[in-house]
């Protein structure tokens, strides 16, 4: 509780000190990455590529420090700074949402669509957004596209796209209406894909999917500076194949709702106040009924429900720009499994024993512009959490392996970070540090005989786990002028009580073919180091050459390499702009993953090089604005897998695509 009291006292300190400072607006200097989803040709000198027909995952890959774990063609799992879901915080407009699949086949990002997304914000490391909790690796917030007040009275968008590899079809339509007191935008997106082909025209079975997403955003301004907004998202994916796993998904459905009140242009300490309440419900049904030669058929449904709220105050005084945020949520996770043995009664088991999690937190951040060249960013958050096993059956099953285990557990989590930046004459130097911890996830604490197709082990949670903590160090140096833009950045994370599954030879596996059982344990320490160098040159107004080189390294206390750590990677792209035309020729060159981890089920991944080419054109006809793009991915039809492809499933071979978006 000491850290929570310190944060509260800090908030009171700012309330008393900053009231005496004059109002001023300053620019945040923290390390923030954003990618805009809706863009037109030539805007921000960025090639739109597939534009709004691109998946959310493809947009996320434009961000620094982001990679993807792929188990098929659908619902890739985001990885930030070589850390996946347990060490990240992913929100939609600040709303906490939790996946409903024990195999992480439905990350939060899979329940939104490009047609309803304005931009994606990434905060690297422990400097998370106000609603983020447990974000050792970073936090991602998906900002929804809302038409807002005083925009065009009406607007209509149509989108269609086609990819030859897998016969992926994309159709979307949305409309927006706006006035001084009311706005509404709504629409629907549909994706349909067959199995895709890897390089060399090799079919990848069980990689098809179907998805529909619809959304509604409403806004009402009953009086000047008083705004009420509401959001409803419905997303449903069916017949989703996962070639890297033993099972597919018959249905994944998400309902996401929110209602918020916002007060603008406040007088005094804060100039803006927003409060939002939200509720979301996710259902996810895994089954293997379409797989051939299955010895024992099984169903594995899961459910996740979350209700929460946050209240955010923003203000500025003199050299300070600050935020104070309170948030809380209650989430329940339930998953079970039924195995059907021919000639015998079905066998039933709880895999997530209906775990309820209540979390509440208070965060404070301040951007201090000391001068035109010097700035400091401070951020801190403290959260209290309680988890309880609601199912008697699930509690007694865990009690077999952990006699005397308590039914509920309480913990406190906190993070604090500070960074300094100096900038002058095109140079910018920055350095920062932070400390934070996270509570074990529901799977890590209470999971029960969950099979991991990556290393094939069955996993059991450990309710006695300690919180995992980490110290982050980061630094960067950049320089730019009208022609050159270059940046070098390094970050390092030093973990204490690192959580990972380790074999327990006393236990017998339940899954046929599994080599054994792993139980989640705390390792004494671990470390992850990430480096990246980017270099862009614009020798002519119509030509830009982008380059990025990155390398990462991770080890744990026994000396073993950590799994899913990216190897040496070089990205390059030559981009051309001329009036309403744009084009790009680029490549991804990746070295072999020589530092792979046998201990955690990895094997050597060969290096590869893949190339792509694309072109786009924007044309206007009266009030109609249209964008058309064509391109080829994996130009030379290379057969390859990346280090993060589950079980080395091959990626798509040559893929020709075309898309058209029309704005009325």
> How confident is residue 3, by pLDDT bands cut at 50, 70 and 90?
very low
pLDDT at 40: 37
Residue with tokens 């058309």: 628
pLDDT at 8: 35
What's the rounded Cα separation, in Å, for the pair 651 and 634? 9
Beta carbons of 509 and 515 less than 8 angstroms apart = yes
pLDDT in tens, 81-99: 999 999 999 999 999 999 9
> How confident is residue 318, by pLDDT bands cut at 50, 70 and 90?
very high
Nearest CA-CA partner of 311 in 320, 324, 301: 324
pLDDT in tens, 561-579: 999 999 999 999 999 999 9
Q: Is the dihedral of CA 100, 106, 111, 117 positive or negative?
A: positive
- Burial of 152 per CB tally in 10 Å (0-12, 13-18, 19+): exposed
Q: Any alpha helices (H) in 69-202, and if so which ranges?
A: none
Is the pLDDT score of 632 beyond 60? yes
Is the pLDDT score of 497 beyond 50? yes
Mean predicted lDDT score pLDDT of the chain: 91
Beta carbons of 445 and 410 less than 8 angstroms apart = no
pLDDT at 38: 55
What's the rounded Cα separation, in Å, for the pair 232 and 278? 10
User: What 3-state DSSP class applies to 561?
Assistant: strand
Domains and CATH numbers, the chain: 2-663 (2.40.170.20)
Cβ-based neighbours of 540, under 8 Å, separated by 6 or more? none
pLDDT in tens, 454-482: 889 999 999 999 999 999 999 999 999 99
pLDDT at 594: 87
Which position has the higher pLDDT, 169 or 115? Answer: 169
Is the pLDDT score of 385 beyond 50? yes
> How confident is residue 39, by pLDDT bands cut at 50, 70 and 90?
very low
State mean pLDDT over 68-72: 94
pLDDT at 223: 95
pLDDT at 294: 83
State mean pLDDT over 529-548: 96
pLDDT at 43: 34
What's the rounded Cα separation, in Å, for the pair 243 and 71? 7
Q: How far is CA 489 from CA 30, 551, 573, in A?
A: 14, 11, 20
Is the pLDDT score of 42 beyond 80? no
Cβ-based neighbours of 534, under 8 Å, separated by 6 or more? 64, 485, 486, 487, 546, 547, 548, 549
In sequence order, the β-bridge partners of residue 499 are 522
Q: How far is CA 160 from CA 167, 426, 432, 633, in A?
A: 13, 41, 44, 18
What's the rounded Cα separation, in Å, for the pair 553 and 644? 14
- Phi, psi (deg, nearest 5) at residue 53: -85, -15
pLDDT at 44: 36
Q: How far is CA 19 from CA 16, 121, 302, 317, 519, in A?
A: 6, 30, 49, 7, 52
pLDDT at 13: 35
- Phi, psi (deg, nearest 5) at residue 447: -60, 145
> How confident is residue 509, by pLDDT bands cut at 50, 70 and 90?
confident
Beta carbons of 29 and 496 less than 8 angstroms apart = no
**pTM of the model as a whole:** 0.91
What's the rounded Cα separation, in Å, for the pair 432 and 416? 11
Comparing 342-346, 492-496, 549-553, 580-584, the range with the smallest average pLDDT is 342-346
% of the chain surpassing 70 pLDDT: 93
Comparing 118-122, 408-412, 469-473, the range with the smallest average pLDDT is 118-122
pLDDT at 49: 67
State mean pLDDT over 293-307: 91
Comparing 52-61, 296-305, 454-463, 472-481, the range with the smallest average pLDDT is 52-61
pLDDT at 610: 97
State mean pLDDT over 168-177: 96
What is the helix (H) or strand (E) element at residue 58, kind and residue range?
helix 56-60
Is the pLDDT score of 30 beyond 50? no
- Phi, psi (deg, nearest 5) at residue 400: -60, -40
% of the chain surpassing 90 pLDDT: 81
User: What 3-state DSSP class applies to 600?
Assistant: helix
- Categorise residue 647: left if φ over 0, alpha if ψ from -120 to 50, beta otherwise: left
Cβ-based neighbours of 622, under 8 Å, separated by 6 or more? none
pLDDT in tens, 192-217: 999 999 999 999 999 999 999 999 99
State mean pLDDT over 305-333: 97
pLDDT in tens, 206-251: 999 999 999 999 999 999 999 999 999 999 999 999 999 989 999 9
Residue 163 has which token pair? Answer: 């990819």
State mean pLDDT over 354-374: 97
- Please, what is the end-to-end C-alpha distance for the chain in angstroms? 55
pLDDT at 24: 34
pLDDT at 19: 32
Is the pLDDT score of 5 beyond 60? no
């Amino acid at each position: 509780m000491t850290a929570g009291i310190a944060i509260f006292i800090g908030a009171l300190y700012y309330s008393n000190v900053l009231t005496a400072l004059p109002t001023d607006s300053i620019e945040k200097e923290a390390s923030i990455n954003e990618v805009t989803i809706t863009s037109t040709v030539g805007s921000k000198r960025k090639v739109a590529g597939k534009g709004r027909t691109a998946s959310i995952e493809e947009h996320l890959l434009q961000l620094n420090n982001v990679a993807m774990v792929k188990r098929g063609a659908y619902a890739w799992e985001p990885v930030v700074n070589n850390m996946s879901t347990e060490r990240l915080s992913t929100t939609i407009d600040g709303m906490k949402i939790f996946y409903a699949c024990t195999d992480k086949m439905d990350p939060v990002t899979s329940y939104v669509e490009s047609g309803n997304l304005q931009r994606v914000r990434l905060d690297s490391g422990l400097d998370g957004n106000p609603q983020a909790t447990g974000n050792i690796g970073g936090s991602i917030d998906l900002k929804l596209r809302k038409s807002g007040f005083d925009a065009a009275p009406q607007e209509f968008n149509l989108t269609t796209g086609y990819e030859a590899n897998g016969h992926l079809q994309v159709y979307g339509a949305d409309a927006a209406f706006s006035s001084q007191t009311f706005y509404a935008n709504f629409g629907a997106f549909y994706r349909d894909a067959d199995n895709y082909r890897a390089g060399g025209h090799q079919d990848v079975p069980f990689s098809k999917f179907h998805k529909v997403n619809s959304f509604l955003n409403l806004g009402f301004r009953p009086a000047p500076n008083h705004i009420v907004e509401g959001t409803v998202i419905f997303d449903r994916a069916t017949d989703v194949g996962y070639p890297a796993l033993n099972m597919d998904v018959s249905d994944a459905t998400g309902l996401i709702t929110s209602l918020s009140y916002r007060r603008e242009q406040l007088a005094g300490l804060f100039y803006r106040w927003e409060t939002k309440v939200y509720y979301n419900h996710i259902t996810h049904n895994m089954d293997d009924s379409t797989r051939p030669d299955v010895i024992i058929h099984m169903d594995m449904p899961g459910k996740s429900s979350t209700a929460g709220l946050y209240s955010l105050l923003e203000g500025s005084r003199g050299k300070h720009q600050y935020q104070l945020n309170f948030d809380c949520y209650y989430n329940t996770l339930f998953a079970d499994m039924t195995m059907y043995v021919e000639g015998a009664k079905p066998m039933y088991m709880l895999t997530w024993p209906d775990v309820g999690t209540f979390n509440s937190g208070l965060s404070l951040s301040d951007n201090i512009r000391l001068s035109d060249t010097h700035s400091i960013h401070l951020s801190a958050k403290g959260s209290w959490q309680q988890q309880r096993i609601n199912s008697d059956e699930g509690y007694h099953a865990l009690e077999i392996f952990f006699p005397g285990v308590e039914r509920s557990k309480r913990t406190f989590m906190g993070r604090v970070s500070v960074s300094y930046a100096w900038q002058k004459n095109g140079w910018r130097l920055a350095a920062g540090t932070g400390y934070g911890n996270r509570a074990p996830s529901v799977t890590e604490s209470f999971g029960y005989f969950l099979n991991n197709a990556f290393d094939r082990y069955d996993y059991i949670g450990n309710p006695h786990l300690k919180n995992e903590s980490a110290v982050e160090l980061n630094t960067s140096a950049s320089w730019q002028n009208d022609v050159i833009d270059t940046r070098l950045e390094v970050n390092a994370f030093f973990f204490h009580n690192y959580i990972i599954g380790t074999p327990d030879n006393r236990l017998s596996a339940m899954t046929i073919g599994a080599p054994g059982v792993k139980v989640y344990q705390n390792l004494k320490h671990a470390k992850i180091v990430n480096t990246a160098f980017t270099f862009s040159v614009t020798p002519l107004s119509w030509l830009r050459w982008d380059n990025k080189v990155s390398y990462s390294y991770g080890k744990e206390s026994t000396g073993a390499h950590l799994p899913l750590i990216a190897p040496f990677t070089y990205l390059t792209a030559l981009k051309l702009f001329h009036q309403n035309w744009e084009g790009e020729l680029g490549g991804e060159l990746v070295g072999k993953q020589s530092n792979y981890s046998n201990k955690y089920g990895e094997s050597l991944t060969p290096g590869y090089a893949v190339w792509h080419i694309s072109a786009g054109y924007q044309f206007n006809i009266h009030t109609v604005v249209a964008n058309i793009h064509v391109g080829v991915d994996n130009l030379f039809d290379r057969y390859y897998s990346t280090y993060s492809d589950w079980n080395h499933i091959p990626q798509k071979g040559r893929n020709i695509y075309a898309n058209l978006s029309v704005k009325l």
